[in-house]
Amino acid sequence: MRRLPVSLGLDRRNPGVSSAGAWHRGGRAPRFTTENPATGRVLGEVLGATARDYEELVGASWEAFLEWREIPAPRRGEAVRRIADALRAHKDALGTLVSLEAGKIKAEGDGEVQEMIDIADFAVGLARQLYGLTMPSERPRHRLYEQWQPLGLVGIVTAFNFPMAVWSWNAFIAAVCGNACIWKPSPKTPLCSIAVQAICNEALADGGYPPVFSLLNTDDVALAERFVDDRRIDLLSFTGSTAVGRRVAQRVAGRLGRYLLELGGNNAIIVDARANLDLAVPAILFGAVGTAGQRCTSTRRLLVHHTRVKDLTRRLVAAYGQIRIGDPLKKGTLMGPLIDAAAVERHLATIDELRQAGAKILTGGGRLRRAGHFVEPAIVMAENDWPAVQRETFAPILYVIPCRDLDEAIARQNAVPQGLSSAIFTDRLQHAERFLSAAGSDCGIANVNIGTSGAEIGGAFGGEKDTGGGREAGSDAWKAYMRRQTVTINWGDALPLAQGIDFS
């Protein structure tokens, strides 16, 4: 069996050995701990990568790539199909681990695993559809077409809030495209990455495939920068804040590497004069309170037609009053904790800032007096151009902004630096179409009578402006993981030049 270089091991509770490969367990490896955000208690200690581990890992990934790229794409798809089977078998346990380490409620933890399974299934089919175009050549007896080749090594940096799924959108697509992947997860969720990595590599090894997935757990900024700067990493896919993403993009661009960015969102739902509130209220609730407001697609702003503000806020405040906050693994809990103490401080500081700006807090905004990092979700009457409203605070704070008409709502929807997800609730066709027109939403995602979060994997996922412009997951997002090669074949016995040039 081939051995996979993985740069870490776990503490005594879990030896962290993947049957698919060797887990590096060097005595001098720097350690860091991971916590359960619902209790504040340490879940485990992780051995981070050393610089030497890193070198070994990149070298071994390249070796795996050399073998993998020779395997026909549909057979690479077969390898991902085995992974999908393994993930199905472990869905419950993985969903629970997401709850334990990231604090998501169990239903959302399971949903995250389902998202991995869905993208794996998608990748299996895609493995037979890496189509290139054929063009008519202007020259006689010439054939002109394009084909797609793998890039080589794909680096994947993920955030704590989707500690498994975001890796899989990148890794499974990149894998069927013929690449090897190196994953640097958030130092807040290393156990999720270890579990996923172990399962995926075992499935690969069982099928006799090379170990194309490797894992770089580290909380060392210098090592992470080395990864970003490494010319051997052909594509760097980064999910995280706009501030960090901007620096990553500049560094990768500096070495003329490729990058793919999924950065912050500041997503709004427009509640039109003719919105069906029976649809809008549960969608807003899921978008604003789901994952405790820690999705890049979370609903942060409501742009509400002035005639609907009273009714909508009354219904929302009543609904917020019924949200059960607490242990994410307990049945019936709708909102778990924020990821850590710093996230709680940011939530509270933003609420303070809003109060000082004269905001009316309709409900929530405090912290819960219990162990773990719990806050109350807030609804705040606000103005779109306030600095707090313009930035993404990764917390359950929902801004209600009354608007005169649809044009004003669309203008405000677009008047933020970010451009990820957007939505309108309306029963009026003309308004929905206006929102979807070139003069409408400027976001990568635009929904009608659906909230801003919870996208399916079949579409390309990503956003514009400060969200970074990247697209991942479905549609033709696979093209980011391949290089396009234009091929011209002369099968005649003359050498005609293009553009009719005579060079004799």
Provide the annotated active-site residues.
Answer: 262, 296
Cβ at position 167, least distance to ligand UN1 in Å: 11
Q: Look-up: residue for tokens 């070994």?
A: 56
479 closest CA partner among 222, 186, 269, 176: 176
Segment near ligand UN1 (CB under 6 A); pick from 159-167, 188-196, 314-322, 485-493: 159-167
Segment near ligand UN1 (CB under 6 A); pick from 202-210, 348-356, 429-437, 449-457: 449-457
Binding pattern to ligand UN1, positions 231-260, x when CB under 6 A?
--------x---------------------
Candidate residues 454, 462, 463, 470; the one interacting with ligand UN1 per rule CB under 6 A: 454
Candidate residues 161, 266, 299, 384; the one interacting with ligand UN1 per rule CB under 6 A: 161
Give the relative orientation of helices 165-176 and 73-89 as an angle to the nearest 10 degrees.
150
Cβ at position 331, least distance to ligand UN1 in Å: 22
Q: Is 474 in the site for ligand UN1 (CB under 6 A)?
A: no
**Cβ distance to ligand UN1 smaller for residue 160 or 399:** 160
Q: Is 455 in the site for ligand UN1 (CB under 6 A)?
A: yes
List b or e across 236-246, with b for residues whose CB sees 16 or more CB atoms inside 10 angstroms.
Answer: bbbbbbbebbe
Binding pattern to ligand UN1, positions 269-308, x when CB under 6 A?
--------------------------xxx-----------
Q: Give CA–CA dist 161/153, Å, rounded.
A: 24
Other beta carbons within 10 Å of 51: 12
φ, ψ for residue 391 (rounded to 5)? -110, 165
Cβ at position 297, least distance to ligand UN1 in Å: 4
Candidate residues 189, 201, 447, 453; the one interacting with ligand UN1 per rule CB under 6 A: 453
Q: Give CA–CA dist 230/228, Å, rounded.
A: 6
**Cβ distance to ligand UN1 smaller for residue 261 or 302:** 261
Could you tell me which residues come within 8 angstroms of residue 6 by beta carbon, excluding any fewer than 6 positions away? 18, 21, 22, 23, 24, 57, 194, 197, 214, 215
Q: Give CA–CA dist 470/183, Å, rounded.
A: 18
Segment near ligand UN1 (CB under 6 A); pick from 29-37, 315-323, 434-442, 453-461: 453-461
Binding pattern to ligand UN1, positions 183-222, x when CB under 6 A?
----------------------------------------
**Cβ distance to ligand UN1 smaller for residue 119 or 180:** 119
The SS3 call for residue 7 is coil
**Cβ distance to ligand UN1 smaller for residue 65 or 461:** 461
Please work out the total of residues on this chain that contact ligand UN1, with binding judged by CB under 6 A: 10
List b or e across 428-447, with b for residues whose CB sees 16 or more CB atoms inside 10 angstroms.
Answer: eeebbebbeeeebbbbbbbb
439 closest CA partner among 401, 474, 417, 413: 413
Q: What tokens were used for 143?
A: 């054939």
Give the relative orientation of helices 309-321 and 277-289 as an angle to the nearest 10 degrees.
50
Q: Look-up: residue for tokens 């309108």?
A: 424
**Cβ distance to ligand UN1 smaller for residue 257 or 454:** 454
Segment near ligand UN1 (CB under 6 A); pick from 146-154, 204-212, 336-344, 450-458: 450-458
Cβ at position 150, least distance to ligand UN1 in Å: 25
Q: What DSSP assignment string belongs to 352-419?
A: HHHHHTT-EEEE--SB-SSSSS-B--EEEE--TTSHHHHS--SSSEEEEEEESSHHHHHHHHH-SSEE
Candidate residues 32, 148, 162, 374; the one interacting with ligand UN1 per rule CB under 6 A: 162
Cβ at position 164, least distance to ligand UN1 in Å: 11
270 closest CA partner among 403, 369, 172, 367: 403
Classify the phi-psi angles of 490: left when phi > 0, otherwise alpha if psi is within -120 to 50, otherwise beta: beta
Q: Is 65 in the site for ligand UN1 (CB under 6 A)?
A: no
Cβ at position 296, least distance to ligand UN1 in Å: 4
Cβ at position 397, least distance to ligand UN1 in Å: 16
Cβ at position 31, least distance to ligand UN1 in Å: 28
**Cβ distance to ligand UN1 smaller for residue 280 or 455:** 455
Q: Give CA–CA dist 433/469, Å, rounded.
A: 23
Q: Footprint of ligand UN1 on residues 396-425 (CB under 6 A)?
A: none
Cβ at position 470, least distance to ligand UN1 in Å: 11
**Cβ distance to ligand UN1 smaller for residue 166 or 432:** 166
The residue nearest ligand UN1 at its CB is: 455
Is 476:460 a contact under the CB 8 Å cutoff? yes
Candidate residues 47, 87, 166, 180; the one interacting with ligand UN1 per rule CB under 6 A: 166
Binding residues for ligand UN1, rule: CB under 6 A, are 161-162, 166, 239, 295-297, 453-455
